[in-house]
Amino acid sequence: MAAPPSLKPVQTRSQSPSTFPSPPTTPSGKVNPMSPVRPTISLHQPNSKKGSSKHNKIFRRVRAVFRSFPIIAPACKIPVSLHGNRLHDGHVHGGTRMTGTLYGHRKARVNLAIQESPGSLPVLLLELTIPTGKLLQDMGVGLVRIALECEKKPHEKTKIEDEPIWTMFCNGRKSGYAVKREPTDEDLNVMQILHVVSMGAGVIPTGDGGDQPADGELTYMRAFFERVAGSKDSETYYMLNPDGNNGPELSLFFVRI
């Protein structure tokens, strides 16, 4: 299946036309994820997804508080050498390949969705207090390292990816917070539109060609990530580039201290 008209994927996965219904379009033929008639969500459950999460109420409460935090535009341009940290072929031994998508309106907070595959529901969805455009711009300049830290509690049995809120550091500088949340209809709509995109970047139209949203265009960047679990209190996601070292770089570190 070809990718939606307004997207610019690098690679796509072929699917049967009957498997995934086409998303709604505007009169001009552009994909419109914000249309009142939303596409049917056909994303499948990931293998590791539980039937229900007992933390949903906590996430909603934390998110309500998180929304009151200001959007922070940190300088994430500290050059960091990669020599010795990763293999030349871009693969990390002992890691699990995942699909990661950064998306959001350029002037609004960026979202990070981690999926087992482009056609599955997210296993992790984070909202960061960094504008989408700022993060993508800094990634174009050089390596961006984001460290997410939270407090380790005695006798805590919560999985590290289920922690509701994190203190965020961008290239060593405190840069606000990140919060885990459940996907909304809009999030699922974006994932559905991108379900045929394996890697790439582009803009998803959000209207009928009229005025641009106040928060700017809805942009996305999707890539493969290598997930490496160091221990029950640490986990890392490394962005993989098909062209070696000549692409955007992002590493995310989850640490309980």
Residue-by-residue DSSP string for 178-191: EEE----HHHHHHH
CA atoms of 131 and 104, how far apart (whole Å): 8
Residue 12 lies in a domain: no
Res. 80: pLDDT tops 50: no
Question: Among 68-72, 173-177, 206-210, 244-248, where is mean pLDDT lowest?
Answer: 68-72
* DSSP-derived secondary structure letter, 111: E
* Max mean pLDDT range (57-66, 94-103, 212-221, 246-255): 94-103
Residue 225's closest CA among 102, 121, 104, 133?
Answer: 102
Q: Is residue 65 part of a domain?
A: no
The pLDDT of residue 79 is 38
Q: What is the mean pLDDT of residues 3-19?
A: 45
Judged against a pLDDT cut of 70, whether residue 92 lies above it is answered with no
> What average pLDDT does range 104-116 have in this prediction?
97
pLDDT of residue 100: 98
Tell me, yes or no, whether 216 lies in a domain: yes
Task: Tell me if residue 93 falls in helix, strand or coil.
Answer: coil
Give dist(CA 170, CA 177) in Å, integer: 10
Which domain, by its residues, includes 221? Answer: 71-81+92-256
Q: What is the reported pLDDT for 76?
A: 54
Higher pLDDT, residue 142 or 163: 163
CA distances from 37 to 27, 41, 237 (A): 13, 12, 35
- When pLDDT is cut at 50, 70 and 90, the band that residue 209 belongs to is low
Number of domains in the chain: 1
pLDDT class of 157 with cuts at 50, 70, 90: confident
Assess if residue 2 is contained within a domain. Answer: no
Q: Is 66 helix (H, G, I), strand (E, B) or coil?
A: helix
Amino acid 56: pLDDT: 52
Maximum alpha-carbon separation in the chain: 57
What average pLDDT does this structure show over 143-154? Answer: 94
Q: Whose CA is closest to 34, among 197, 215, 222, 224?
A: 215
Express as a percent the part of the chain with pLDDT over 90: 54
